Copies of this chain bind each other. A is one copy, B any other.
């Protein structure tokens, strides 16, 4: 087993990094469950034909082959081939159709799983990473208020991570109907083409985008200018809605679709300002995703780490799934957990107080007395205190060192039987302070903050 080297794009954490990741996952799960989302998992594979329904992602799919497949198995077409899922939306849509008769709609689910993308790994792109998704899907219809609720759930989930040092988040929202209504109003009908150019704003700047709109989309300079003016609008209160309407009016571009979109965006901005002040910002330059979402679209940035890109994105689909007879509209968001955890760790923002669950290491006096140490550990565990027993009856100094290396705060010394045949009192030592006191395994407990490993801002 020579030449062991990490595989680029497949992140793994050491035990203390995993404590951080597990804390993030537990926090997300708790927030989702408090909001009534049911947890599901789907299989890692989907038929290749399902995965390829969106043409552009085809290059990212990992296809599976049984190493010793029969020849006819290897040759069969994509309808029988399996690939690893590259997101949790395609599998969820399939799960909804497969189980539609056994689910109650609107169905709120969260799903936290690994996904795989066979792209070339580069600057923080992973080939395997954990996503945490929430979606609500309706049968036939889905009330608009879920488009308000879902980004707020995510804002709260990410907000609960502030206590471990996650920077504040800002949810940027836009609405497909606003963009499409406006573009059509000014006379640009290739909406997806325009969105594709506007999406380049951050990379190439407004002048270059204006040029592309003229060269590639056949826009007049005035139409291009209108698109840039729309993209420049952002804000977190209702004034933003008025500014869009004024702009559209000045171009004679007020359409029914625009008004529908503005009413939706207004409802979102208004509810968000009340329920999570300052967190949600309407940002009319958000274009990514507007080509396949049909209503609200969301991106989320870490304040101060905007260059990391969106860590939580999503939007509204009028047709998340359809079986021909029934249509299932949905709205959802997805957190890139691995990217987030990787950032927390690599930027040194957080640390785990220890990499092992153990709060107490029970020392072993002699190997013949190991049963006494096992009994202490059993008594502590029965009371919910994570305990381990020293691997060897070494000198106590070495056993304390064993605990110290792992960040275990307490070492327990079982009492020894004296010359008088009476067993002395057990003692427990806080190896950070050196304090050592008599203790009884049926009553003693560590301070609550030492019971389990915690994740804290790196400075603490």
Contacts and interface: CB of A to CB of B under 8 A. Distances in A.
Interface string A137-156: 01000010110010000000
A243 interface: no
A436 interface: no
Given A63-B64, A65-B62, A116-B44, A33 B386 contact: yes
A451 B118 CA distance: 42
A410 to B, nearest CB: 12
A15 B96 CA distance: 12
A39 B64 contact: no
A53 interface: yes
Given A94-B4, A274-B371, A386-B35, A12 B67 contact: no
Contacts of A53: 1
A316 interface: no
Contacts of A13: 40-41
B102 A14 contact: yes
Interface stretch (A168-176, A302-310, A350-358): A350-358
A4 to B, nearest CB: 5
A84 B116 CA distance: 12
A109 interface: yes
A4 B323 contact: yes
Given A44-B128, A64-B64, A1 B99 contact: no
A321 B1 contact: yes
A7 interface: yes
A35 B374 CA distance: 11
A98 interface: yes
Contact of A62 (B66, B98, B358, B385): B66
A392 B61 CA distance: 39
B12 A42 contact: yes
Nearest to A393: B143
Nearest to A57: B67
A104 B21 CA distance: 20
Interface residues of A, number: 97
Interface string A250-276: 000000000000000000000100110
Counting every copy of the chain, the complex holds 2
A429 interface: no
Given A6-B98, A94-B4, A128-B45, A108 B35 contact: no
User: A interface, by DSSP: helix, strand, loop or mixed?
Assistant: mixed
Contacts of A6: 98
A91 B368 CA distance: 36
Given A33-B357, A274-B371, A357-B36, A63 B67 contact: yes
Contacts of A322: 1
Contacts of A58: 67-68
A46 to B, nearest CB: 9
Nearest to A384: B34
B405 A98 contact: no
B388 A35 contact: yes
A216 to B, nearest CB: 25
24 contacts: A1-B50, A2-B323, A2-B324, A4-B97, A7-B45, A12-B40, A12-B41, A12-B42, A15-B109, A21-B41, A33-B386, A35-B387, A36-B358, A39-B357, A44-B128, A62-B64, A66-B118, A67-B83, A69-B118, A104-B405, A106-B391, A138-B391, A146-B391, A275-B374
Q: Nearest 9 A-B pairs (CB), nearest first?
A: A36-B388, A66-B118, A33-B357, A10-B43, A36-B358, A15-B38, A59-B68, A34-B381, A61-B67
Given A18-B41, A33-B386, A64-B118, 4 more contacts: A1-B321, A19-B39, A58-B67, A64-B65
